[in-house]
A and B are shown apart, each in its own frame.
Chain A
Amino acid sequence: MIETKNLTKDFGKLLAVNNLNITVNSGEIYGFLGPNGAGKTTTIKMLTGLLKPTKGTALIDGIDILKDPIQAKGHIGLIPDSPMVYQKLTGREFLYFVADIFEVQRDSAKKKANEIFEMFSLQDKADVMIENYSYGMKQKIVIAAALIHNPSVLIFDEPTVGLDPGSAKLVKDLLRALAEKGKTIFMSTHILEIAERMCDRIGIINQGELIAEGTIKELRGKAKDKTANLEDLFLELTGGEDTKDLIKFLGY
């Protein structure tokens, strides 16, 4: 379970996230949407202890990330937006390394790594150095590393970026399966189709403020057009309708 309490972050004059209060329950997939620079990645970094909030805090399975970051991090699996990994390790070595850091027994890490490699069709590349991987393969290895210690909370920053359609489908199925197993899934995405189809609840953030939250049905209830899809809804809430008019004006 994830719970944020007045989570706030400023970078000097720039207020990146302002008084964010959200709760994501176990077994739930929560979609976190927002335009570029809205504060999505900043929120994720605060949830995972990479950034310190200016005010407020976040609880991971009831553990305060500020008071007990090490304990809280043990419950989290993070998949960042870009796969920054140790280029000179093989995929297998990287997974074992992460497993050691999370104090996973080597035998169970080996078993889990083999399962994950098979799931992502990476068996042939498991002993190849990561520098030889494509972007999508690196993304897969980062997802694999996030799963190796069997976390109860999974935080995805753009989960399907760089993945081929088959792998993207696999990740989506995986997310659903993990949620069914009772894991808490928090994902930020730009792909509204994924959010619309997969998420149990959606939060929309704009200029650091949570401007809407609820199920798709609840969000539609707030829109002018009750039959609007998530894209229209998103543009309406975040002011993107102006963009639509501009595109129309330019004749595209």
Chain B
Amino acid sequence: MKNVLILLRTNFRISYNSLAKNKKLRLIFAIGIGVAGVVAFYLLLRLSRFLYNLKIPLVNISLAPLILNIVMLIAFIYLLLGSFSIMLSTLYFSSDTMLLLSLPLKERDVFLGRFVFTVFEESIWLLFLMYPFFVGYGVVNQANMIFYAETLLFVLLFPVIPLAVAVFVILPLAKKIHPRKLQNIIMVINVVFGILIVGTMQIANPSYQIVSKDALTNLFSHGFSLMRFLPTNIGVYLTMSLAERNILIGTFIFAIYLVISAGAFCFCILLSLNTYKEGLGKIRTVQYVKIVKRKAEKEFKGFSFLPTKIKAVAEKDVKMIRRDQKLSVSIFPIIAYLAVFFFIFVVVLGKKPSANEPLDLSFFTLLFFFVFSSYMASLQIAPMLFYTESRSVWVLFASKITSQELLWSKFVIPFLLGEAMNALFFILMIFVRHPSINMILVSVALALFLPFIFSTIGVSTSAMFPVFKEVKNPKKIIPGKVVLIQTVMGYAMFGIAFGFFFLNNLLVKVWGGTVAGIAIFILVGILSFAIGFSLMFVGSRRLNYVEIQ
């Protein structure tokens, strides 16, 4: 037990030190996070109080239990889905694994330290995001202190069950399957699940009219009746009992919850005694990477039109994407989501506007797909390709490649991918929609120039904040500020594209469709080149000052 406490203390210290390098900054960050948490808590509290005061019209039934259940359900599903990846990487791929195993520590202690710390980490989030809904319920129902104390404990212990469920699955599986392979399987399952959710939501979207309204109503009513069997319902009974001052019943429910959580926790420990050591043993001894001798591959000639140095880097990146599971698995969901939207795109395009509509809104939706596909194919992939250089970047920095060549070489793949996606959409549009000249010109302008601009944004903003360190998953190295800047710029592009849509409608009335289309084409082209080249210039200037330490 002493060792577990030492491990926990060390983990807390590491987490605190990771906030910033500087001691003073660390304290400022910690206070800042605390303040942000309190603000989030307050806002959610206000929101919850507003929601709890809502009532179903006519019958005057409060929506509070339903809202509370939905909040807990979202938290539970989120924790359950995430817990598989979280527990697997925490238990088997933490950077300190080898160090800990070389110390006189029992595997059980390592497991316990990691499990408890993960529960703590998740609890902190829930404290700020879920607890306000309990407090709100208490305020609305004028509950006493026992309510707040017991619900607080309930929230803090909430991650135990979903994390334990993940442990029940992962530990025995990792004994049989190499954890690295298991990690890939879980990642693919998560992506498939995500796509299913997105797909289902799109199919169920009433505006597409894919499923009839009656069928949807039936589905939802059955869904709600099943909710009473969900584990989160225990939280609703607990809250309601305590809020109604049924302290004995409430505490009894809380005791049941404690026993279930403690049982799950104890079972995890028992399971770890027999399985954790063997899974870790695989990490230590078995080299999972298959030794495959590659035949001299037929050389990829796809980029032969490019200058030698740019071609070399782009071809190398293609090989990396094809062979690096982490990279291809990161790109896989992007392509898969695009495929789902591709399907929706066909459905939307199939619906022709009525002649009375003042604005062709289906054309508007169509333009949205060009922006969206460019955003996904170009802006999401470009930074990944840049940061995937990691520590091997010294090869490039010590070579004859200039920073501009390096940036343009990273531009090639996302740009071509975006163009390919847009070309598919465009061909589909021609066949399904038989567009006007104006529609063709505006679509071509967006389809052609948006991947250019999104790729330049992706590459140049990454170059402005270069980080070259070794990581297992290149997606995780992308700095938060880069993601933020790219997201803001991405949304700005959405806005600008829609601005062009309205401008086009205006110009059509003045000049007619063809001239308006040409004008929009030229305008979009000029704007794209101006923004794209300026950003690439700034990015390459920044890269000139990069030092490889």
Contact = CB atoms under 8 A, between A and B. Distances in A.
A88 B319 contact: yes
A101 B405 CA distance: 10
Contacts of B308: 100, 103
Give chain A's interface residue range (CB within 8 Å of chain B).
Answer: 20 to 34
B400 A50 contact: no
B323 interface: yes
B548 A50 contact: yes
B510 interface: no
B320 A86 contact: yes
Contact of A97 (B296, B316, B400, B470): B316
Nearest to A125: B293
Contacts of B396: 101
Given A97-B312, A100-B309, A73 B291 contact: no
A88 B326 CA distance: 11
Query: Which of B289, B315, B395 lies at the interface centre, i.e. has the most chain A CB atoms within 10 A of its CB?
Result: B395
A85 B548 CA distance: 15
A101 B295 contact: no
Interface in A140-178: 145
A141 to B, nearest CB: 11
Interface string B274-318: 000000000000000101111110000000000011011101100
Nearest to B295: A127
B319 A51 contact: no
Q: Max chain B CB contacts within 10 Å: which of A76, A86, A103?
A: A86
A209 to B, nearest CB: 21
B319 A93 contact: yes
B547 interface: yes
Interface in A103-128: 103, 127-128
B175 to A, nearest CB: 25
A101 B389 CA distance: 15
B319 A52 contact: no
B309 A103 contact: yes
A98 B313 CA distance: 9
B400 A86 contact: no
A89 B316 contact: yes
B545 interface: yes
Given A51-B549, A86-B392, A98 B294 contact: no
B295 A51 contact: no
Contact of B312 (A100, A127, A128, A131): A100
A147 B252 CA distance: 76
B25 to A, nearest CB: 15
Contacts of B320: 86, 88-89
B395 A98 contact: yes
A50 B294 contact: no
A132 interface: yes
Contacts of A85: 392, 395
Interface string B379-404: 00000000000111011111111100
B121 interface: no
Contacts of A86: 316, 320, 392, 395
Contacts of A103: 308-309, 400
Contact of A45 (B294, B390, B395, B548): B548
A73 B323 CA distance: 30
A48 interface: yes
B296 A127 contact: yes
Interface string A208-225: 000000000000000000
Interface in A15-48: 45, 48
Contact of B294 (A52, A70, A127): A127
Contacts of A45: 547-549
A196 B289 CA distance: 41
Interface in A159-203: none
Contact of B547 (A52, A73, A129): A52
B322 to A, nearest CB: 8
Given A51-B549, A100-B308, A128 B291 contact: yes
Contacts of B244: none
Contacts of B391: 84
Contact of B545 (A52, A88, A127): A52
A90 interface: yes
A50 B309 CA distance: 19
**Max count, chain B CB within 10 A of own CB: residue among A70, A87, A100, A103:** A100
A132 B547 contact: no
A50 B291 contact: no
Interface in B387-431: 390-392, 394-402
A80 interface: yes
A87 B390 CA distance: 11
B294 A90 contact: yes
A133 B340 CA distance: 40
A86 B548 CA distance: 17
A101 B401 contact: yes
Contact of B397 (A50, A74, A102): A50
A97 B316 CA distance: 7
- Count chain A CB atoms within 10 A of each CB in B308, B399, B470, B545 and give the residue with the most: B399
Interface in B416-471: 470
B9 to A, nearest CB: 30
29 contacts: A49-B397, A50-B548, A52-B547, A70-B400, A73-B400, A76-B398, A78-B394, A84-B394, A84-B395, A85-B395, A86-B316, A86-B392, A86-B395, A88-B320, A88-B323, A88-B324, A89-B316, A89-B319, A89-B320, A90-B294, A97-B312, A101-B313, A101-B396, A102-B400, A127-B294, A128-B292, A128-B293, A129-B289, A129-B292
Q: Which 8 pairs, one residue from A and one from B, show the smallest C-beta to C-beta distance? A: A100-B312, A88-B323, A50-B548, A84-B391, A101-B399, A78-B398, A51-B547, A132-B291
Interface of B: 289, 291-296, 308-309, 311-313, 315-316, 319-320, 323-324, 390-392, 394-402, 470, 545, 547-549
Interface of A: 45, 48-52, 70, 73-74, 76, 78, 80, 84-90, 92-93, 97-98, 100-103, 127-129, 131-132, 145
Given A74-B400, A100-B309, 6 more contacts: A45-B549, A84-B392, A102-B399, A103-B309, A128-B293, A145-B395
